Structure 1
Amino acid sequence: MKRKAKYFLLGCISMALIGCDNQLIYEENQKFDDNIWVYEDPKTFEFDIVDSLLPVKLFINLRNTTDYPYSNIYLFLHSSYPNGYNDIDTLEFFLADPKGTWLGDNSGTVVENRAMISKGVFPTTGTYKFTLEQAMRNDSLPELLDIGMRVELMVEE
């Protein structure tokens, strides 16, 4: 009897570990050289959507240090769809509140942020391409570690 309970417990733990992030469709993060995002270094992300009926959420990930000199960051988001549609959006990403407290998950000197920028369905199947550019007034932004995109299934809550 004890042996069955042990196998059952092991099975439950295994299933929990396997299903930890079953909503994830795509995630990629790209590092900045010397922790500086220069204007001439846009980051591009491409992924395939195979089912245009599944509702998803689209996120931007950003990691910075606590020495990042601003409370926000402006980004240009260039979107290219498989049907030939192209678009450019300007996004503002708040990283700290007005008192200077970091908004993301703070682990020592690293702050991890994730902001949802869209939710719904992709209009068609195929390869989507998104390019992120920093749109601040400085050509070089210090203390930024990496930026990324994440696509996950939208589950009913």
Structure 2
Amino acid sequence: MLKLFRVLPAFGLGLTLLLTACDPSQVYEKNVDFDNYTWSVRQKPAFTFDIADTTQRYDVYFNIRNASAYGYYNLYLKHTLTDPANKQVSQLLHQMILMDPQTGEPRGKGTGDIYDHQFLALRNQQFHQIGTYKIVLEQYMRQAQLPGLMAVGVRVSKAKAATP
């Protein structure tokens, strides 16, 4: 039974990737799993993606997977985005609400006690150079180890055109 619970998150992630592979607006998506379902302050996952069209605007999302055992209703996460010349484009601190602060009910999509969230972090981002960009994510909570956080990821997709 315990083995089944270890396989289910991988199956869910695989299914998610399969379903998003059909999305023509998606440019990039990758998730990184944490050992022992704990995000250490020393772990700073880095994601690299290529931009070929500088006239297009993009939306950048952060993916978070947590277990219901995660001890907080929110997550502070800092991103650092660098361009192909390794020059910093942006650095922001984001607060993501994973559970309702009053009821404790989990937000996001879930199966059992595992919940997936996708937060729009950078809306209508314009990349001024063609090439490979890098985004580094850091957990920015007051605790060095965050048990219950299973994975983090980045999704980049073409922004939808504004409707008049």
Q: TM-score range by the shorter chain?
A: 0.7 to 0.9
Paired residues, what number?
141
Pairwise mapping of residues 4-153 of structure 1 onto structure 2 (< 5 A)? 20-86=22-88, 87-98=90-101, 99-120=103-124, 121-153=126-158
Secondary structure of the corresponding residue to residue 146 of structure 1: strand
Q: 1:2-47 CA deviation, whole Å, 9 max, x = no partner?
A: xxxxxxxxxxxxxxx8983111100000010110001111100011
Partner AA of 1:61 in structure 2? N
Larger Rg, first or second structure (1 or 2):
1
In structure 2, the residue matched to 1:6 is none
- Identity of counterpart residues, as a percentage? 32
Shift of 1:73: 0.6
Q: Deviations over 1:83-135 (max 9, x none)?
A: 44314211111101121111111211110000001122222211111100111
Q: Is the 8 A contact 1:78 1:89 kept in 2?
A: yes
Counterpart CA distance in 1 for 2:154 and 2:23 is 15
Report the TM-score, using the length of structure 1 for normalisation: 0.83
Comparing 111-120 with 84-93, greater Cα deviation is found at 84-93
State the one-letter code of the partner of 2:37. N
> How large is the RMSD of aligned CA atoms in angstroms?
1.8
In 2, Cα distance between the equivalents of 1:47 and 1:80? 11
Structure 1 segments (4+ residues) deviating >4 Å: none
Matching residue's letter, 1:143: G
Maintained 8 Å contact 1:83/1:124: no
| Matches of 1:123 and 1:115, distance apart in 2 | 23
Structure 2: distance between partners of 1:18 and 1:135: 28
**Whole-Å Cα distance in 1 between the matches of residues 133 and 146 of structure 2?**
27
Uncovered stretches (5+) of structure 2, i.e. residues with no partner: 1-18
* TM-score, with structure 2 as normaliser: 0.80
